[in-house]
Each structure stands twice: as structure tokens, then as C-alpha cells.
Amino acid sequence: MPGRGFNPPRRNLTGARSKRRNPGEPFGVQSTVGRMPGHIRTLFTAGMLCLCVSRGICQDKAQSSLEHYRLGVVYLQQKNYQSAANEFREALNGNLDPPWTKASSHLQLGRIFDATGQHDRAVNEYRQAQQADVAQALLAIGEPIQKTDPEYTEEARLAELEGTVLLGGAIGEDGFAHDLDVLRPLGLGLDENAIEAVKQWHFQPNVVTGQIPVEFRPSTKQSRWHLIRVQFDAPPGVARPVFTNALYPIGAGLGQEAMEEGRLVAAIGRLATARLAFEVDEHGIPGHFQVRNASEAVWGSEATAVVGQWRFTPGMKNGIAVAVPCTVELVWGARELNGPMLAQVYQVLDEPPAASADIAPRIRVVVGTDGHVPQARPALLNGRPVEVITDVDVDPPQ
């Protein structure tokens, strides 16, 4: 029978007998656990296991591109550009899971540089975003072993429609694309021609799904105006209008009010954008214009002036001409567009416009090397304060 003061041997976490602690020996974890009642020891063991798991989760989170990307978006919405840029860079340094975080992080960095007047750095980020986006699409699909160029429709050639049709589909064991669907259209029959062309492309046999970009480029281009998307919203039973004339101004093709803005856009190597909604009336004449999106207000007016000169065969229903809504997207800039340029434009135009009440009208000024503004603009526009955007580096995010 154990006597008073007798301490029976305890067992540690492994079940072995605990070593007795000598007088003066530090009271360690092993000794502590050994002296715990059974139910307390069980709880302690579970807690230690949870701690190990939580440490692993925290380490995974530190490498999570998605978590950093989401934080970056929050900071960007708060216009905390420095913190947002840091988070997007951490996302690029993380595990890049899901893969789209790479292209999207480059894109968001480009927007930060744009917002802080660092246009060259913005263009570089947009270029990397495009490369990452195409690489992500081709990562699963792979480059085609054999391909044929897609054909233009006569209407698209007349309208000088150009850009990228983005298809989604699956490559089968036979090396051909199946189940093709249009993810980003161009219009005027080019979407259908893109599908027909890709059906003839031959890929490395591999059962995978992904995105397939199909490029359409006109052989010659004389104008700085580019039509990059057309969509008619003809009601059921109505044949849509058809382009019969789409004249573009030669050269700069701008009115006097847009010349200064045009020189600025050309100087920094950017593209001006505009999305217009209008009706093609019973006589084939476009009217009732609405500017749905524009990089600057002046580009909406300039694009309207261009499209206002176009002519169509009107929409028809039961042999009677009817008005049909239409939406077009145009850009102004270099005479020849490349993939990175278009990727940047599509990202901008596909974004929902911000509420006008939350954004002040913006006026651009050019700051000279001496730090002065050669031609200052008024600080009020129609009695309202405006935000002044300079074209020099301002606190670049590190």
C-alpha cells in the first residue's frame, strides 16, 4: 500500500514512465504533462496538435497569392496605393494559386501606376499581365502544332473590325478542339469564323480544357481609330442591320477640342477608349447616342462623331424596316494594335464604370522639367472642383 506522500510513477505522452525531477530541476513541459490528470492531459495534447496545425495554416497563408491579392483589392478600393502595391507584389511572390492571380496582380499594379502618373511602368505591368494571361490559357491547351488563319467576313472587313476572339474549349485525345464556346466576342461573324478555324487546328493530344485566343488583324490601316467590338441587340424575329459604309478619318482624325488630349495619349504610348450605344433607325442611320464608357469625356464625343458618319442596311421584320440597338467599342491611338495593347483595352472596357458621384472630373496637365505647369488649367469645371492628374512620378509604390 502506498503511504502518505508516495507519488506513483506517471507516464508521458508516449506512454513511457516519466523521469522524476530532481530538486532544483526546471519544471519542463514533459514533467508538467506527466503530473496532469488524464482528462487534462488529453485536452493539452489536443491543444498542442491544434497549435501545430495552426502554424502550418499561417505559413500557408503567408504564401497564399489569393489572400494577398484580396487584401490588395481592399487597399486599392481605399486608394491606399502603397499598401495595395505591396500586397499585389506579395501575391506575385506567393504560390500563384489560383493561376489567374499572376495576370490580375500585374494588372492591378498597372492601374496603381496609372493612378500615380507612372505611365511607362503601367504599360510594362499591362504587358506582363497580357503575357501571363496568354501563358495561363496556353498552359493547359498548349500551342497548336498546326494552325490556319481565320477568315474575315466581308462585313467585318468593310467595318475594319479587329481584335481577339477568346474561345473556351477542350482538347481531346485526337489533338483537336471540342466543345468550343465564345468567351469574349468580336461580332460581325468573326466569332463563328474563329470557331471554324480552331476546329481545324491540331494540338498535342491531351485531354485538357482552357482558353484559346484567335487574332483578327486587318492587312492595312490608315486611321488611328479602331473598331474592336460590335454587338447588335435585335429583338426576336428581327434581322439585324448590316454595315454598308464605315468611313474612318485619315491621319489623326480628331476635332480641335481633342487635339491636346490626343497629343498627350500619343506621347505616353497609350490608347483612348470609348463604348457607345445607339440605334440604327429605319433608314440605316445611327442616332440616339449614349456614351457608356470613355477614358476621358472628350473621347466619347469624338467617337460619336466618327460613328455618326456610318451607314447600314436597316433591321427588318416581316419586310418592314425597324430600329435596332447597337453597341460598339472603339479605341484611338497607334495605327497598328498588338496583343498587349488590346489586353489593356479589354480590361478597361470590361470594368463597370464607377459611380459619377464618387469620382471628381479629371483634367490632365503636363508638368515641365522645372516643376512648373506651362499652361495651367482652371481648378473649377462648370463650378465644380476637379482633380488634377500630373504626368510625372509621384510617390512610386515600392
**pLDDT (tens digit per residue) in 206-240:** 767 788 889 999 888 889 999 999 999 999 999 99
pLDDT at 114 over 70: yes
- The per-residue pLDDT for 288 is 96
- The per-residue pLDDT for 47 is 62
Output 199 or 34, whichever has higher pLDDT: 199
- The per-residue pLDDT for 230 is 96
Query: How far apart, in whole angstroms, are the C-alpha atoms of residue 398 and residue 394?
Result: 12
pLDDT at 1 over 50: no
Instruction: Kindly give, in sequence order, each residue whose CB lies less than 8 Å from that of residue 358, ignoring residues fewer than 6 positions away.
Output: none
- The per-residue pLDDT for 234 is 93
C-alpha separations of 92 from 77, 89, 107, 135, 137 in Å: 19, 5, 11, 15, 18
pLDDT at 264 over 60: yes
**The residue type at 42:** T
| Residue 229 near residue 329 (C-beta atoms within 8 A) | yes
pLDDT at 374 over 50: no
Classify burial at 315, counting beta carbons within 10 Å of its beta carbon; exposed 0-12, middle 13-18, buried 19 or more: buried
